[in-house]
């Protein structure tokens, strides 16, 4: 009625419908409707609204109880709970929203809101990407206790079709791999790329773009053949879709729901995916994920059942390098080369036991840092002699010296860096061979350098062989000294020596001959 009075007041003052619409904040059709109604018509219509039966009146008590018990309950979650309790109920989302808003006003039940900022993420093509992330939440049980639950979410980047699985303990790498297989079966295929957060279940860390995956997951990824995209730390914009899915699972499915065992919880979650998570119209795409999924499924790469023997999970564990460049294993300390510990970045390594030897790996592709015989004693420091000095500085100086042996230092640096990258453990040996080759064939060193770069021969041995071949194809160049060219003394400071000359007769007498 207040709105009715205000619209008519502004109309009497001479405002047109568009101006009234902007001032009172209602649609022009509402303004037009109220202007055509006199006072008695408005009273009767208002009275009919208050007494008109609504489709959800029968469920009012239930919904009010939910809102009182859970003030942060959303209208979308109310709708899902109604569909769960009354599967045959046919109701629209807008009807539920309107009814819940009216109940909050009438019963003074304001909604508690949590504000979170998101940024738009570019769309991906069909079958291009799956996004994966983990979440956790404290849940109230049917016996009024609190349990912590953990879940993993998968979402197809294009259709937003989702898969969720729960555990009542933290995830391990083997759990993550099993859930991947479950998700692939649920989707009916696999995408070219899978995006992950920097979770220590699958990744140690991302070192300037170099992914360091855990050993088990690296084996699994190579077996399945998908590409891994690891998001930067603290970068929710990159993985916006999966971030929203994690929040959606927490707020729409798990929030305020009672936990009654893991099997029951997972079963209810799958039912929620069918009726709500994958069925409700998506707010961004304005389409139902299960409908778009029917098209995207044809773009997924089929996956065959995974045989356990296809993945070789070595018995390995992770450890951290201490500031003293040692790692701890079964009560003892084992050394790594001085300088292995870094003040910035991850200092995690992989420990693997083979034939009573402890093998320490610095990345998960299998590159070895060092190995030690396992000590049966306790409290010992097992250290190698060559772990007491920093070899990286020697390599750096040797590299600079090698570069200065060439005229084209820029191309020489490129070639030498390639040699070091290809022979990390034998860099010094490579330098010795390269230095010897340059000493033996100095006249062809630049030609050999260019040939090795063009042919991509990143080895000092190849450089030596190419230099020897090129040198053998050139004719020897011998410097001819003419008779007219004066001989230069080896020691310019020595004064010239004058030699006396004698006649031939004197030499004849000395030899006992005769002069004719």
Nearest to 321 by CA among 334, 310, 305: 334
pLDDT confidence of residue 120: 56
The answer on pLDDT for 406 being more than 60 is yes
Name the residue with higher pLDDT: 300 or 213: 300
Lowest mean pLDDT among 226-240, 323-337, 489-503: 489-503
> What pLDDT, in 10s, does the model give residues 253-285?
998 899 999 889 999 999 999 999 999 988 878
With CA atoms as reference, report the closest residue to 240 among 123, 340, 335: 123
Q: How confident is the model over 410-435, as a mean pLDDT?
A: 85
Question: Where residue 162 falls among pLDDT bands split at 50, 70, 90?
Answer: very high
Distances (CA, A) of 216 to 126, 478, 482: 29, 65, 76
Angle formed by the axes of helices 2-12 and 28-36, nearest 10°: 90
How much is the pLDDT for 138? 94
Average pLDDT, the chain: 80
Average pLDDT over residues 334-341: 86
For the segment 420-438, the average pLDDT, to the nearest whole number, is: 84
- The percentage of residues in the chain with a pLDDT greater than 90, rounded to a whole number, is 23
> What count of other Cβ atoms lies within 10 Å of the Cβ of residue 36?
8
Can you give the pLDDT at residue 123?
A: 73
- CA proximity to 334, closest of 314, 355, 359, 317: 359
Question: What would the pLDDT profile of 104-140 be if each residue is shown by its tens digit?
Answer: 888 888 887 665 555 555 678 899 999 999 999 999 9
Average pLDDT value for residue range 142-146:
92
Rounded Cα–Cα distance for residues 202 and 217 (Å): 6
Residues in contact with 419: Cβ distance below 8 Å, sequence separation at least 6, in sequence order:
427, 430, 434, 458, 459, 460
């Amino acid at each position: 009625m207040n709105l009715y009075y205000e619209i008519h007041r502004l109309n009497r003052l001479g405002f047109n419908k568009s101006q009234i619409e902007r001032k009172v904040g209602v649609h022009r059709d509402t303004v037009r409707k109220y202007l055509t109604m006199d006072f008695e018509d408005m009273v009767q219509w208002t009275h009919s609204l208050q007494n008109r039966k609504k489709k959800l009146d029968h469920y009012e008590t239930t919904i009010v109880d939910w809102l009182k018990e859970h003030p942060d309950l959303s209208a979308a979650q109310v709708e899902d709970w109604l569909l769960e309790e009354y599967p045959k109920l046919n109701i629209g989302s807008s009807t539920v929203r309107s009814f819940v808003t009216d109940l909050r006003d009438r019963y003074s039940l304001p909604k508690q809101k949590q504000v979170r900022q998101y940024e738009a993420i570019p769309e991906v093509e069909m079958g291009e990407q799956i996004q994966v992330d983990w979440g956790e939440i404290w849940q109230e049980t049917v016996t009024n206790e609190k349990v912590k639950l953990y879940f993993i979410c998968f979402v197809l980047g294009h259709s937003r079709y989702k898969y969720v699985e729960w555990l009542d303990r933290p995830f391990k790498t083997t759990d993550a791999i099993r859930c991947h297989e479950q998700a692939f079966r649920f989707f009916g295929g696999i995408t070219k790329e899978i995006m992950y957060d920097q979770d220590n279940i699958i990744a140690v860390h991302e070192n300037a773009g170099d992914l360091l995956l855990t050993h088990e997951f690296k084996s699994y990824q190579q077996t399945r053949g998908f590409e891994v995209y690891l998001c930067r730390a603290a970068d929710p914009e990159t993985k916006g879709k999966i971030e929203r899915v994690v929040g959606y699972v927490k707020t729409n499915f798990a929030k305020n729901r009672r936990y009654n065992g893991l099997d029951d919880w997972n079963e209810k979650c799958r039912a929620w995916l069918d009726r709500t998570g994958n069925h409700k119209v998506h707010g961004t795409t304005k389409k139902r994920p299960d409908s778009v999924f029917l098209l995207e499924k044809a773009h997924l790469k089929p996956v065959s059942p995974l045989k356990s023997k296809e993945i070789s999970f070595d018995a390995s564990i992770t450890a951290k390098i201490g500031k003293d460049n040692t790692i701890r294993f079964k009560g003892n300390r084992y050394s790594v080369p001085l300088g292995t510990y870094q003040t910035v970045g991850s200092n995690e390594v992989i420990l693997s036991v083979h034939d009573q030897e402890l093998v320490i790996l610095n990345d998960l592709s299998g590159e070895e840092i060092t190995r030690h015989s396992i000590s049966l004693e306790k409290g010992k420091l097992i250290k190698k002699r060559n772990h007491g000095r920093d070899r990286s500085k020697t390599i750096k100086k040797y590299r600079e010296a090698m570069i200065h042996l060439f005229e084209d230092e820029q191309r020489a640096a490129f070639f030498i860096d390639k040699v070091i990258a290809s022979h990390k453990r034998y860099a010094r040996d490579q330098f010795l061979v390269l230095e010897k080759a340059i000493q033996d064939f100095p006249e062809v060193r630049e030609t050999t350098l260019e040939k090795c770069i063009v042919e991509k021969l990143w080895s000092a041995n190849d450089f030596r062989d190419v230099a020897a071949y090129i040198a053998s194809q050139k004719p020897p160049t011998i410097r001819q000294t003419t008779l007219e060219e004066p001989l230069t003394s080896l020691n310019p400071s020595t004064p010239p020596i004058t030699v006396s000359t004698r006649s031939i007769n004197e030499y004849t007498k000395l030899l006992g001959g005769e002069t004719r």
